[in-house]
Structure 1
Amino acid sequence: MERFELLNPHSAGIDIGSMLMVVSYTDREGMINLREFDSFTSSLYELAELLQKEGIEKVVMEATGPYWESLYNILEKHGMEMFLVNPSHYRNVSAQKTDINDAQWLHQLLAHGLIRNSHIAPELYRELRQYLHEREIYQNYKSDSLNRMQKTLTLMNIKFQHLISDVEGVAGMKLLRAISSGICDGQTLLARIDVTKLKASPEDLLSSLQGEYKQHYIHILSITLKSYDFFKEQMQVYESHIEHTLKELLACKGEAPTVIQQKTKKVRKNQYSFNLKDYLLGILGVDLTEVEGLDEIGLLTILAVTGTNMKKWPTAEHFVSWLNLSPRPKISGGKIIGYERRNNNNPATQAFRLAAHCLWQSKGPMGQQYRRLASTKGSKKAIKAIARKLAVIFYHMVLNKQAFDATRIQPDIEQQKARKIARLQKDAAKLGMIVQKEA
Structure 2
Amino acid sequence: MELVERVAALDIGKATLMACIRVPHEDKPGRRLQEVGEHATTTRALLDLADKLRCQGVTLVAMEATSDYWKPVFYLLEAEGFECWLVNAKHVKNVPGRPKTDKLDAVWLAKVVERGMCRPSFVPPKPIRQLRDLTRYRRTLVRERSSEKQRLEKTLEDAQIKLTSIISSLFTISGREMLQALIDGERSPKALAQMARGKMRNKIGALEEALTGHFSDHHAFICTMMLERIDGLTDRIEQLSVKIDDVMAPCTTQIEQLVEVTGVGRTSAQEIIAEIGVDMSRFPSSDHLVAWARYSPQAKQSAGKSKSASTGRGNPWLSGALGEIGIGVARTETFLGSRYRRIAKRRGKRRALVAVGNSVLTIAWHLLSDPDARFHDLGADFYESRLNKDRRTRTLMRQLEQLTGQRVTLGAAAA
Shared fold per TM-score greater than 0.5:
yes
Structure 2 counterpart of 1:19, one-letter code = A
Unaligned 5+ runs, structure 2: 27-31
2:314 maps to 344
Q: Return the match for 1:62 from 61, 64, 68.
A: 64
What is aligned with 1:404?
375
Q: Tell me, what secondary structure is at the counterpart of 2:248?
A: helix
Contact 2:334–2:380 (Cα < 8 Å) also in 1: no
Indicate whether 1:165 and 2:161 are aligned: no
2:81 corresponds in structure 1 to 79
The root-mean-square deviation of aligned C-alpha atoms, in Å, is 2.8
Fraction of identical pairs, as percent: 25
Q: Measure the CA separation in 2 of the matches of 1:294 and 1:17.
A: 39
* Residue 3 of structure 2: aligned partner: 7
Distance 1:243 1:412, change over 3 A: closer
Cα 1:103–1:412 change in 2 (3 A) is closer
- Find out whether 1:174 has 2:184 as its counterpart: no
1:285 Cα offset (Å)? 6.7
Q: Which residue of 2 aligns with 1:119?
A: 122
In 1, Cα distance between the equivalents of 2:184 and 2:47?
Answer: 55
Between stretches 396-405 and 365-374, larger displacement belongs to 365-374
Is contact 2:292–2:314 with CA below 8 Å preserved after alignment?
no
Contact 2:333–2:379, Cα closer than 8 Å, also in 1: no
Q: Shift of the alpha carbon at 1:93? A: 2.2
Which amino acid in the other structure matches residue 338 of structure 1? K
How far apart are 1:417 and its partner, in Å? Answer: 6.1
Q: Provide the rounded CA distance (Å) in 1 between the counterparts of 2:396 and 2:347.
A: 19
What amino acid is the match of 1:423?
T
Check conservation: 2:7, 2:21, Cα contact below 8 A: yes
Give the deviation of 1:98 after TM superposition. 0.9
In structure 1, the residue matched to 2:284 is 314
Indicate if the aligned counterparts of 1:16 and 1:62 stay in contact, CA closer than 8 A: yes
Contact persistence 2:196–2:204 (CA under 8 A): no
1:416 is the counterpart of 2:364: no
- Give the drift of 1:84: 0.7
Find 1:385's aligned residue among 343, 355, 360.
355
Amino acid of the structure 1 residue aligned with 2:145:
K
Describe the shift of the 1:162–1:353 C-alpha distance in structure 2 as closer, same or farther (beyond 3 A): closer
Aligned-partner Cα distance in 2 for 1:214–1:346: 41
Q: 1:43 is matched with which residue?
A: 45
Tell me how far apart the structure 2 counterparts of residues 433 and 243 of structure 1 sit (CA, whole Å). 61
How many angstroms apart in 1 are the aligned matches of 2:189 and 2:353? Answer: 47
Aligned ranges 1:103-118 → 2 under 5 Å: 103-118=106-121
The 5-angstrom pairing of residues 143-158 of structure 1 reads 143-158=146-161
Determine the C-alpha separation between the residues in 1 that align with 2:301 and 2:90.
Answer: 20
Question: Bigger CA drift: 233-242 or 182-191?
Answer: 182-191
Amino acid of the structure 2 residue aligned with 1:71: V
Instruction: Return closer, same or farther for 1:54/1:245 CA change in 2, 3 Å cut-off.
Output: farther
Question: What is the CA distance between 1:298 and its match in structure 2?
Answer: 2.0
On the 8 A contact 1:181/1:222 being kept in 2, the answer is no
- When normalised by structure 1's length, the TM-score is 0.82
Q: In the aligned structure 2, how far is the partner of 1:210 from the partner of 1:332?
A: 63
Alpha-carbon distance in structure 2 between the residues aligned to 1:215 and 1:349: 42
1:21 match: 17
- TM-score, normalization by structure 2: 0.86
Q: 1:281 to 1:336 in 2, by over 3 A?
A: farther
Shift of residue 140, structure 1, vs aligned partner: 2.0
Change (3 A) 1:146 1:26: same
Preserved contact between residue 5 and residue 23 of structure 2 (Cα < 8 Å): no
- Cα distance in 1 between the residues matched to 2:322 and 2:33: 48
CA shift at 1:155, angstroms?
A: 2.6
| d(CA) in 2 for partners of 1:150, 1:320 | 39
Secondary structure, aligned partner of 1:25: strand
Q: Secondary structure at the match of 1:406?
A: coil
Query: Could you tell me how far apart the structure 1 residues matched to 2:255 and 2:131 are?
Result: 18
Deviation per CA, 1:300-359, whole angstroms, max 9, x where unpaired? 2211110011111111221111121222212446x3432442233432234224322333
Displacement of 1:42: 2.5
Q: How does 1:164-243 map to 2 (within 5 A)?
A: 164-186=167-189, 189=192, 193=195, 195-243=197-245
Deviations 1:50-87 (A, max 9, x none): 22333322111001111111111111111111111111
* Residue 99 to residue 245, structure 1, CA distance change in 2 (3 Å): same
Contact 1:156–1:211 under 8 Å retained in 2: yes
Contact 1:424 1:435 in 2 (8 A): no
